[in-house]
Amino acid sequence: MPGRRGKKIFLIIIGSVALLVALVIIFISPLTKYYIEKNDVKFTGREIKMDWAYVNPFTGYIHLDGLKIYEFKSDSIFLSIDGLSLNFTVYKILSKNYEISSLVLEKPNGKIIEINKIFNFFDIIEKFSTNDKPKKPKEPLHFNILNIKIVEGLFYYSNPIMPIGYYIKNVNIESSGKFWNRDVMNFVFAFKSGIGSGKMNGKFIINTKNLNYNLAVKADTFDLKIIEQYLKAFTQYGKFRAFLNADINASGNFKDAEQLSAKGQIAINDFHFGRTDKEDYASFKQLKIEMIELNPKKKKYIFDSVILANPYFKYERYDSLDNIQQIFGANGNNVKAENANSDKFNLILEIAKYVSNLAQNFLQSDYKVNKFAIYDANIQYIDYTLREKFSIGLNPLTIKADSVNKSRNWVDMKITSGIVPFGNLSVTLHLNPRTKDDFEIHFLIQEVSAPMFNPYLVTYTSFPLNRGNIELQSYWKVQNGKIKSTNHLILLDPRLTKKIKNKDTKWVPMPLIMAFVREYGNVIDYEIPITGDLKDPHFKIRDIIFDLLKNILIKPPSTPYRMDVKNIESKVEKSLTITWPTRQIKMTKMQIRFVEKMAKFLKETPDASISIYPNVYVEKEKEYILFYEAKKKYFLISHNKKWSDYTGNDSLAVEKMSIRDAGFIKYLNSMVKDKLLFTIQQKCSKFIGTDLVTKRYHQLIKNRKNEFLAFFKNDGTTNRIKFQNTETSVPFSGFSYYEIKYKGVVPKYLKDANEDIEQINEEKSRKKYKFFRKPWFKF
């Protein structure tokens, strides 16, 4: 029986031990929860709560469920974790080695708050830091923390002063951990953008002693919406969006930003910044940079390619500032003020400073770009400070360069663009990549419509043009900053129209000036040499003065000839086009005579017919209607009149009223409170509404048609006038017009006038410009 008794005793001992273990686990778990929550503030300075705890001192396993750590002296939660699990290696404690063999944080939810560069976790760092210097060197603590995991984390960052609010989600991080006697830690990470779309993943290695790091990161359509929040710190308004794609391998040191070595590619896609979500001031489809080696410390900037696709930029001038200064303050004062505030961190400004530092020594570094290109750019300039809106653009603008390499003596670059609404630009650059003071440049501007500059001509002279082509050829050679330049300007067949009388236009005797500057062949043709240096260029106007004197002496005897040419041109032009001054319905006496001649021709020639192709400058017509209707509404209100009391004299007074009349502007501003409306056009549109403008526009088009057809009704030839679809492009002449095409038989007077034009163009004074002149009419 001793065997049975021994077995029984053994079972009792085993059972007692098991019971003791169970009791220890059962009681130590709530005791651990109690102890932590009781002494949390004492040990950490923070209040800590949890749903329950499980502690197994025998295996070293600890699990804290529903863990919550609160903000310092606050009831707001700093960090919550669904489950925190860790394993101690128990047997190593006996040898004074403390090791957490695994640490897992399940669904942590943390908040990082920054106020004036003070973060909400600084108190924890301070709590566990000590400034006391040990009297005797101590053996370092043998503490390892291994196999760290963060699973499906959610982390918020906020700065209520800026204010900034951002977060990342689905954060997963794994690390082999940190050994007490090793300085290197490695991480594998992945997370998604909390705002918008996109994800990022990679590997990160850091030396915790000297702060050297290695980083391999990939970003996939990562939303950069957070940039907009930093922009608000120094912009009056504005909307931003962009997405990041990247595949970068980099190494460096957190103490020295220039100690960076990076390769790979980075692309910013779908970039937009502007007044609203629908109105951009700057945008591009993609900026893609492929790096072979970027190393500021070693002064190496080696790129495989830098490509910018579909960039767009719009610059607008207003009566007060421009669109850039309206956003960033006069002369960029908002940016300067934000930059001067050392208590605030702004991500955009920090990036700008870093990029600026990288670029400072670029020309002195070893640099190379195998391929540099800008494709299909669209650059717009719009001026609202004039009597009417002026706009011009470069589109599509393309820039291509050979391999930009410091080791090469010269680099060639080609720039081509259309000029909107009319013209072409071609530029060839021959650059010394080692200095900005040596280069050659050829540029050619062709087929530019002179009337497109009418907003300036009308505002400052009162005389618009309705004909004229501009050609400009330039060659610059700069060596060591010294300029040798020739510039050939041709203004072909310029013609002034009737003076516009208005209180917001200045007067310059343009007909007299044109008589002096225009040469015998109805051309303004000048060579303008430029010398000096880049800091102080000199314009030689001697040749221009000599040409002026020559014109003064030669013009009087040539006046009859020029008048004869003008009359012949008018016959051809009036037979082929009917020009409509902006917002006008009635034709001039000369136009009426030519239309009557057309009507007579149709009556006498039964087989002939005429097709009319209306070309309407819609934007300009509506702008003039808008101004008139807005001034008219103000006039009636300020004179306490009804619409039915409006007279012809009232209409004339409104017509002459300046669009910048002080009373009108003051009233307009009182009625339109939108601070994002900067132009008179926008305010007038808000004041009277777009429906009225559209209605008046359609009335205008209808009345012009009726005015024209009235001359054919009496002769019964209206059925031989065929109106084609209206074209709404910008006319080369700067005015809406009817293009007239003859079907069947062409009038003899038109043939004769066209032959006269051809003969005149063969004369010596005009023949050398024949290439630039387009034929009036082809039979």
As a whole number, the mean pLDDT across the chain is 85
Q: What is the predicted pLDDT for the residue at 595?
A: 87
Neighbours of 717 (CB within 10 A): 22
- The whole-number average pLDDT for the span 709-728 is 90
Backbone angles phi, psi at 383, to 5 degrees: -115, 115
Which residues have CB under 8 Å from 350's CB, separation 6+?
none
DSSP symbols for 215-247? EEEEEEEEE-THHHHHHTTT-SS-EEEEEEEEE
The answer on pLDDT for 75 being more than 80 is: yes
pLDDT in tens, 204-237: 999 989 999 999 999 999 999 999 999 988 898 8
Using an 8 Å Cβ cutoff, are 249 and 274 in contact?
Answer: no
- The whole-number average pLDDT for the span 403-412 is 81
The answer on pLDDT for 622 being more than 60 is: yes
CA distance 215 to 198: 19
The answer on pLDDT for 333 being more than 60 is: yes
CA distance 524 to 518: 5
Q: How many CA atoms lie within 13 A of 116 on its CB side?
A: 2
Q: What is the predicted pLDDT for the residue at 126?
A: 83
Q: What is the predicted pLDDT for the residue at 191?
A: 96
pLDDT in tens, 647-670: 989 999 999 899 999 999 999 999
Place of tokens 């003064």: 552
Using an 8 Å Cβ cutoff, are 483 and 476 in contact?
Answer: yes
Q: What is the predicted pLDDT for the residue at 577?
A: 81
Question: What string of H, E and C letters represents the secondary structure of 33-64?
Answer: HHHHHHHHHHHHCCCEECCEEEEECCCCEEEE
CA angle 553, 559, 564 (to 5 degrees): 155
- 550 compared with 243, residue with greater pLDDT: 243
The answer on pLDDT for 581 being more than 80 is: yes
- The whole-number average pLDDT for the span 288-314 is 93
Using an 8 Å Cβ cutoff, are 80 and 68 in contact?
Answer: yes
- The whole-number average pLDDT for the span 607-635 is 93
Which of 565-569, 658-662, 725-729 is the least confident region? 565-569
The answer on pLDDT for 69 being more than 50 is: yes
List residues bridging with 344 in a β-sheet.
none
Q: What is the predicted pLDDT for the residue at 776?
A: 46
Which of 52-61, 186-195, 571-580, 633-642 is the least confident region? 571-580
Confidence of residue 540 (pLDDT cuts 50, 70, 90): low
- The whole-number average pLDDT for the span 694-705 is 95
Confidence of residue 574 (pLDDT cuts 50, 70, 90): low
CA angle 526, 529, 530 (to 5 degrees): 140
Confidence of residue 95 (pLDDT cuts 50, 70, 90): confident
- The whole-number average pLDDT for the span 169-176 is 96
Reduced to 3 states, what is the DSSP secondary structure of residue 278?
coil
Name the percent of the chain lying above pLDDT 90: 45
CA distance 280 to 273: 6
CA distance 236 to 446: 40
The answer on pLDDT for 602 being more than 60 is: yes
Question: What string of H, E and C letters represents the secondary structure of 68-95?
Answer: EEECCCCCCEEEEEEEEEEEECHHHHHH
Domain locations in the chain? Answer: 25-126+142-182, 384-572+753-765, 581-745
- The whole-number average pLDDT for the span 146-166 is 92
Q: Among 121-125, 214-218, 733-737, name the most confident range.
A: 214-218
The answer on pLDDT for 404 being more than 50 is: yes
Q: What is the predicted pLDDT for the residue at 325?
A: 93
The answer on pLDDT for 561 being more than 60 is: no
Q: How many CA atoms lie within 13 A of 498 on its CB side?
A: 9
Q: What is the predicted pLDDT for the residue at 293?
A: 92
Can you say how many angstroms the Cα of residue 477 is from the centroid of all Cα atoms in its chain?
32
Backbone angles phi, psi at 546, to 5 degrees: -60, -40
Which residues have CB under 8 Å from 245's CB, separation 6+?
219, 220, 221, 222, 266, 267, 268, 269
Q: What is the predicted pLDDT for the residue at 562?
A: 55
The answer on pLDDT for 258 being more than 60 is: yes
Q: What is the predicted pLDDT for the residue at 146?
A: 93
The answer on pLDDT for 777 being more than 50 is: no
Q: What is the predicted pLDDT for the residue at 633?
A: 94
- 458 compared with 408, residue with greater pLDDT: 458
C-alpha R_g of the chain? 40
Q: What is the predicted pLDDT for the residue at 342?
A: 77
CA distance 103 to 93: 17
Neighbours of 264 (CB within 10 A): 17
Q: What is the predicted pLDDT for the residue at 752?
A: 61
Tokens of 332: 């960029």
- The whole-number average pLDDT for the span 572-580 is 74
